[in-house]
Amino acid sequence: MGFWKRLFGIGHQERGARIGPAELFRDLFVGRPAKSGVSVTWENSLEVTTVLACARVIAEDVAGMPRGVYKKSGPKRLLFSDSPLQALLDFPNDWQTGEELVEQLTMHAVLTGNGIAVKNQVKNPITGLVEIKELLPLQPRWYRIEQDDQWNVVVKVTLPDGGAPMQFSASDLLIVRGPSWNGFAGLDIVRAAREAIGLSVALEESHARLHKNGVQASGVFSVKDQLSDDQYKRLKAAIESQHTGLEQFSPIIMDRGGTFTKVTMSGVDAEHIATRKNQVEEICRTMRVFPMMVGHSDKASTFASSEQFFLAHVKYSLLPWVRRWESSFRRDLIGRSAPNVYVKHNVAALERADIKTRYEAYQSGIQAGWMLRSDARELEDMPPVSGLDRPVLPMNTSVLDAQGNPISNKPAGNS
């Protein structure tokens, strides 16, 4: 069954006019012009290396975290690996892995505010329950999110094949939203930051034209006497043959008392470069990514160690998106009918310290009695060993009961 047939087989078709006014077309395909004169859309913003790097840093790091389905059973948390939801998270459709889908929708949400996938739901003939067979991602240009008079969130979709528009309710979709102003749609970061992005585009175009057209000379050649037309052409050809091009580094030989004066970088040129560097920081600030994560050297930002820097990256840049994903999974894929089931990301995969620090932390937790030796082996991806799944306590430590009295460590029946 093809993608379009599967997608047309779900949802409700909407009769009437096509979706959205003329402004929608302008915003998606033309873009709103910034003060720099550049029209900015989420698509051409990816041509700005800082925007692309910020989106990749968030999307790739979030998608790379292991995610599993867990079930609460009293005070215990059990891995629910045989759940159909785990299979859906691992292989959401025929052409994507779970990491690829999360990466795609995260990048959509980072740039446009929303990442949406349609739930292809079918009824199980044996159990009679409706199950999610696959998740079909939507391109941002295909849909428009609205809220009706009853405060129901609806997504109106127009596919590029020219078919009739369709309307989906929130229960038909998996939606991950970025920061939201109205509560039902994420904030369009590219539109909100179009001035910073537009200026970055204008600066890059200006710098590119500078090198393409050669509007700034590298130096000035001068002679004492006036040159005839033939002498000027001969001198020009000699200089070009000796000095221009990527592979020409031979000495310059001139006659008639000729001199060469090198043109140094002007203050305007230095300000141009400084402005380009400032735009990197402006875009990173907008997208909440540390400039160093996109390869920008920021001497003002210092950390005691690279470990502390990456922990700050996880805490301030990635964790908000991890929480959004976990909430979206719980709302759109699990629902209220299974309150004990949830999806959890293994953030520790990115927070791992160096081996010495990790082992010292394990030793401290094991000796204090709140961590098992088997837990430490599991965190290090080591095979389980029998006899290590019981807590240990130092000899001078006693466990107290509810009244604060020491509990005997002797086995029952011994005197």
pLDDT at 113: 92
Higher local confidence (pLDDT), 384 or 211: 384
The mean-pLDDT minimum among 45-59, 276-290, 320-334 falls in 276-290
Looking at residue 73, its pLDDT comes to 81
For residues 255 and 240, what is the distance between their CA atoms, to the nearest angstrom? 15
In degrees to the nearest 10, what's the CA dihedral of 8, 11, 16, 17?
Answer: -80
Residues 6+ apart with CB under 8 A from 147: 153, 154, 182, 184
Q: What is the per-residue pLDDT for 9?
A: 46
Q: For 194-202, what is the mean pLDDT?
A: 73
| Residue owning tokens 């560097």 | 277
**Residue 189 pLDDT greater than 80, yes or no:** yes
Write out pLDDT tens, residues 110-149. 999 999 999 999 887 887 788 899 999 999 999 999 998 8
Cβ density class 101-130: b for 16+ within 10 Å, e for less = bbbbbbbbbbbbbbbbbbbbeeeeeeeeee
Mean pLDDT, range 32-61, rounded to an integer = 80
When pLDDT is cut at 50, 70 and 90, the band that residue 21 belongs to is very low
Q: What is the pTM of this model?
A: 0.70
The top-scoring range by mean pLDDT among 12-16, 93-97, 149-153, 219-223 is 93-97
CB of 188 closer than 8 Å to CB of 112: yes
Residue with tokens 């079909």: 136
The answer to which of 67-71, 257-261, 278-282 has the lowest mean pLDDT is 257-261
Q: Tokens at residue 320, please?
A: 């908000």
pLDDT at 1 over 50: no
Mean pLDDT of 79-102: 92
> What's the whole-number mean pLDDT along residues 1-23?
43
- Please, which pLDDT band fits residue 334 given cuts at 50, 70 and 90? very high
Length of the chain: 415
Evaluate if residue 391 carries a pLDDT over 50: yes
Residue type, 134: E
Top pLDDT among 29 and 194 is at 194
pLDDT band for position 17 (50/70/90)? Answer: very low
CA distance 327 to 174: 11
Q: What is residue 33's predicted lDDT score, i.e. its pLDDT?
A: 63
User: Hey, is 268 helix, strand or coil?
Assistant: helix
pLDDT of residue 13: 37
Provide the pLDDT for residue 118. Answer: 95
Greater confidence (115 vs 223) lies with 115
pLDDT-derived band at 20 (thresholds 50, 70, 90) equals very low
